[in-house]
């Protein structure tokens, strides 16, 4: 076994690997960018080496610097985590050339599965079912083959993942534009603009099988259902898949093992299948999509139902030990869910968000995989994931109740998150029944993505917090023989709301909000109008938060402050920090509503900004390659004369 391992990654996966190293008595080495110098994974590791820079290209993608750090610190092996260099075969060969061990599959296996077109050809030869489509080298065949297999079709980058370089096309007339956009995004994300096409399955479920190999043999550690997606990115994963039959599980497991054996796979990997669920789960209705030659983000749900530490298995097999268990020794216990908590603005279209984590609390009953702590900054340079919230229950219903509770009890202030969206998903009727497919979120997007609005009870609690009456401090020295009343303004919307708080006794208040009066008792437990509730409050210098199922944040507003004027529809502002990838208009150009103005690249995704109305471009304030921050003016239309 190794003595010291370098983790070539950051965030929650780096922390996850370090935890297993600690458990096994192994020393760990972290690498970090300049802005990650005080990050949680750096704090947890036994040693840390700076890679410099801020962007991935300046830090975590510098394979030469990572190998040099391993040699300098005496690490014998490198764990890549996921993302960054985890599926780069050249990096694997460079590690081996330095007489170090790569904790993962061989460069040959990564190359075999790294390009979707080559992987599908290999799978066909191994007898693994694949989706009808075209994955050959002649890109001019794409529109022809699309017509042959029939619409809708899916365009996918051959070197892609995470939804980048992917477009769904339902009408032949839209194919050329979608192909152009997919190729552009694929080129930017992966340095390779080649794409393939597949027949789009109308009621698709995304079910993947966890495999583990030793280079010659392989086992499967059952399946995960990852159908709950938005824009082809996973949101909530679960294991096992709802509605899975033993016949279907055996067929998918056998196909996944055949795929791993065909690649001579060593270590942890995932074989992803698209399942046509229109007639229920049947063994003849699943198709190979791709193989991820690394540990998956959602691996905790597999660990929860099998009781296996997949990172430990990775380390042991990479060190030359045999696989700890054979297929006949593996089994499933209970059900598990994982929810991905992101810094993102859901109502605004899931735009990535940044900010400082002023307050962060997770429930003790859930498994939390995170790379951040209270006080950390969510930067624009890396993936905006904050944490993975994982629960395990006796069955699916039990696990789902635990997930809803864990999400409701998570407290976070300082950046916009998808917590309310996750909670809405756990309460979705179809999802609760296990009737899931990859289109569920899109179909019910209006309901699921609506920002929760605070009720008068929530505003009443916020008013008490704004006056710090929840800790009795303002009441010290007062005789409470007669009620005292305060008036407070909360900036929960553009106009704010006025609340009148009357102190009736220690910990007892009447709060009038929007012509409704609530009796609030804070001792010995919190009651509103006689009903005992579970809620908590947080107070900052400028903001107040009430955690009551969802998170509600209020500004402390000075009554003399004037509300700022709303931005005009003439101005296109940057919705987030990012890089201007392409500018499509110039001053003097005429545009129609919805015409593309520019492309902003942020958090590894491209965002197309469009004209809010018809008009003439008055000015463009940025050029290609410009770095902008949230709220910056990008394009302005000429004013309309009235």
Alpha helices in 500-606 (DSSP H): none
Q: Which one-letter DSSP state was computed for residue 381?
A: T
DSSP strand E in 174-315: where? Answer: 195-199, 204-214, 218-230, 233-239, 266-276, 286-292
- Cβ-in-10-Å burial (0-12, 13-18, 19+) of 642 comes to exposed
Q: Are strands 497-505 and 484-490 parallel, antiparallel or unpaired?
A: antiparallel
The pairing of strands 543-548 and 550-555 is: antiparallel
Number of other CB atoms surrounding residue 144 within 10 Å: 10
Cβ contact 204:278 at 8 Å: no
Those residues whose C-beta lies under 8 Å from the C-beta of residue 302, and which sit 6 or more positions away, are 210, 221, 222, 224, 239, 308, 310, 336
Catalytic residue list = 294
Place of tokens 């696989």: 323
* Whether 604 contacts 189, CB under 8 Å: yes
Task: Report whether 196 contacts 217 (CB < 8 A).
Answer: no
Cα(17)–Cα(48) distance, integer angstroms: 14
Transcribe 88-139 into DSSP letters: -HHHHHHHHHTT-EESS--HHHHHHHHSHHHHHHHHHHTT--B-SEE-SS-G
304 φ, ψ to 5°?
-70, -40
Q: Label residue 363 exposed, middle or buried (CB < 10 Å: 0-12, 13-18, 19+).
A: middle
What are the CA-CA distances from residue 94 to residues 67, 97, 98, 351 (Å)? Answer: 8, 5, 6, 37
Is 502 exposed, middle or buried (CB count within 10 Å of its CB: 0-12, 13-18, 19+)? middle
Rounded distance, CA 126 to CA 108, Å? Answer: 17
3-class DSSP state for residue 375? coil
């Amino acid at each position: 076994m190794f003595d010291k391992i370098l983790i070539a990654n950051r965030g929650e996966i780096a922390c996850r690997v370090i935890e297993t190293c600690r458990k096994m008595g192994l020393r760990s080495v972290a690498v970090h960018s300049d802005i990650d110098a005080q990050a949680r994974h750096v704090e947890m590791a036994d040693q840390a080496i700076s890679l410099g820079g801020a962007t991935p290209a300046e830090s975590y993608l510098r394979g030469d610097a990572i190998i040099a750090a391993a040699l300098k610190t005496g690490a014998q092996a490198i764990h890549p985590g996921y993302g960054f260099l985890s599926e780069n075969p050249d990096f694997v060969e460079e590690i081996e050339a330095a007489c170090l061990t790569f904790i993962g599959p061989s460069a040959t296996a990564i190359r075999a599965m790294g390009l979707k077109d080559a992987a599908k050809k290999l799978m066909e030869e191994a007898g693994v079912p694949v989706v009808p489509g075209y994955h050959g080298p002649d890109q001019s065949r794409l529109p022809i083959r699309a017509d042959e297999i029939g619409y809708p079709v899916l365009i996918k980058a051959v070197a892609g993942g995470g939804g980048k370089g992917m477009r769904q096309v339902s009408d032949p007339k839209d194919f050329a534009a979608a192909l152009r956009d997919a190729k552009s995004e694929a080129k930017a994300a992966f340095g390779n603009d080649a794409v393939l096409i597949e027949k789009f399955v109308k009621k698709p479920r995304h079910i993947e099988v966890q495999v583990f190999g030793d280079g010659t043999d392989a086992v499967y550690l059952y399946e995960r259902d990852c159908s709950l997606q938005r824009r082809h990115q996973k949101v909530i994963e679960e294991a096992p898949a709802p509605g899975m039959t033993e016949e279907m599980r055996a067929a998918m497991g056998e196909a996944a093992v055949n795929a791993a054996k065909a690649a001579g796979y060593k270590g942890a990997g995932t074989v992803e299948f698209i399942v046509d669920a229109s007639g229920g789960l049947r063994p003849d209705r699943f198709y190979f999509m791709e193989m991820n030659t690394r540990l998956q983000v959602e691996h905790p749900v597999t660990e929860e139902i099998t009781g296996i530490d997949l990172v430990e298995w990775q380390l042991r097999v990479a060190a030359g030990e045999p696989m700890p268990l054979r297929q006949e020794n593996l089994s499933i216990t209970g059900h598990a869910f994982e929810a991905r908590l992101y810094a993102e603005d859901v109502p605004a279209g899931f735009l990535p968000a940044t900010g400082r984590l002023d307050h962060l609390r997770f429930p003790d009953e859930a498994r939390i995989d995170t790379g951040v702590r209270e006080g950390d900054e969510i930067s624009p340079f890396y993936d905006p994931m904050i944490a993975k919230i994982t629960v395990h229950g006796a069955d699916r219903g039990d696990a789902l109740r635990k997930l809803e509770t864990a999400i409701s009890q998570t407290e976070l202030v300082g950046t916009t998150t998808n917590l309310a969206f996750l909670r809405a998903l756990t309460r979705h009727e179809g999802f609760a029944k296990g009737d899931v497919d990859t289109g569920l979120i899109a179909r019910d997007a209006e309901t699921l993505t609506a920002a929760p609005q605070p009720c008068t009870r929530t505003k009443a609690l916020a008013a008490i917090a704004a006056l710090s009456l929840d800790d009795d401090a303002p009441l010290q020295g007062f005789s409470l023989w007669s009620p005292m009343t305060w008036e407070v303004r909360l900036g929960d919307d553009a106009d704010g709301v006025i609340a009148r708080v009357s102190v009736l006794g220690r910990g007892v208040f009447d709060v009038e909000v929007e012509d409704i009066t609530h009796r609030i008792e804070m001792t010995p437990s919190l009651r509103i109008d006689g009903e005992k509730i579970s809620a908590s409050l947080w107070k900052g210098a400028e903001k107040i938060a009430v955690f009551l199922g969802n998170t509600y944040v209020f500004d402390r507003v000075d009554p003399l402050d004037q509300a700022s004027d709303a931005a005009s529809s003439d101005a296109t502002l940057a919705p987030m920090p990012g890089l201007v990838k392409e500018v499509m208009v110039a001053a003097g150009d005429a545009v129609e509503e919805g015409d593309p103005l520019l492309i902003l690249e942020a958090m590894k995704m491209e965002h197309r900004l469009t004209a809010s109305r018809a008009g003439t471009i008055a000015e463009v304030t940025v050029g290609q390659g410009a770095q902008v921050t949230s709220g910056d003016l990008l394009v302005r239309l000429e004013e309309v004369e009235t």
